[in-house]
Amino acid sequence: MKQFILMLTALLVWAPSFAQVDRREVRSGNREFRRGEYRQADVSYRKALLKDSTSVAANYNLANNLYRQQNYDEAAKYMAKANPMSLHGADIAFNQGDIALAKQDWKGAVEAFRQSILRNPADLQAKENYIYAKKKLEEQQNQDQNQDQNKDQNQDQNQDQNQDQNKGQNQDQNKDQNQDQNPSQDPSQAPGQQPQPQEAKISPQQAQQMLKAIQAKEKETQDKVKKEKAEALQAAQKDKNW
């Protein structure tokens, strides 16, 4: 998450006096944030918002502070209040993308990084995160499609299984009736014919278990890749406050 100290200082000097009442609390919150005292910084930023609920700096910095505490839903709420149409719109959109990544909201992340790039085309990190989020969105869509296909296959298997069970029941009933009529003769075997060995088959239940085992292995691999990428992104996130 980004920092623009010089630009923000100029903004506070030029703003009307009623918009400057939060300066002391915001600066105090920034010092606490840099020391890793996130709870104290949370109090300072909220005090600033009590004086000016429209403060871009207070909303933005509070959102960053909540992000560091992994309170992503609250972080998203306050980042949205930071006025994306302001001069800092590119940074606000970037941080909205970071929050969406943390929530695994790939669609929201793609849109946020796209807005950040539109406002600042030179931001290479925004472009990298946009590509990553777009890739994860495509993977999610493919996974959802595969799940729908597997669901349809399971339904077909259950239907086939029910049909096989009904067929087996009918055959058993016919067999019982034939045995009652000809107790000394096997109805499935012609006179003098040796019984034929039956071919081994995989039941629908076994096929479904094999499919679940394969899917579990694929998910384990995807989770491992996702964890490695998340750790790499965490190291590169721009989370310094104004």
What is the domain extent for residue 11? Answer: 5-135
Classify residue 149: in a domain, yes or no: no
Q: Of 73, 1, 61, which Cα lies nearest the Cα of 26?
A: 61
89 is a domain residue: yes
CA dihedral 164, 167, 168, 173 (to 10 degrees): 170
The CATH number for 115's domain is 1.25.40.10
Segment 181-193, tens digit of pLDDT: 655 555 455 555 5
pTM over 0.85: no
Alpha-carbon distance of 229 to 232, in angstroms, equals 5
Residue 201 backbone phi and psi in degrees, to 5: -130, 155
Higher pLDDT among residues 195 and 28, named by residue: 28
86 pLDDT exceeds 50? yes
Using 50, 70 and 90 to split pLDDT, how confident is the model at 153? Answer: confident
Domain count for the chain: 1
pLDDT tens for residues 192-220?
A: 555 555 555 677 777 778 778 877 877 78
Residue 198 lies in a domain: no
In-domain check, residue 164? no
Q: pLDDT digit string (tens) for 133-151?
A: 999 999 999 999 888 777 7
54-80 pLDDT tens trace: 999 999 999 999 999 999 999 999 999
Residue 146 domain-assigned? no
- 188 within a domain of the structure (yes/no): no
- Asked if residue 147 is part of any domain, the answer here is no
Q: Which of 59, 57, 111, 48 is nearest to 81 (CA)?
A: 59
Q: What is the mean pLDDT of residues 166-176?
A: 67
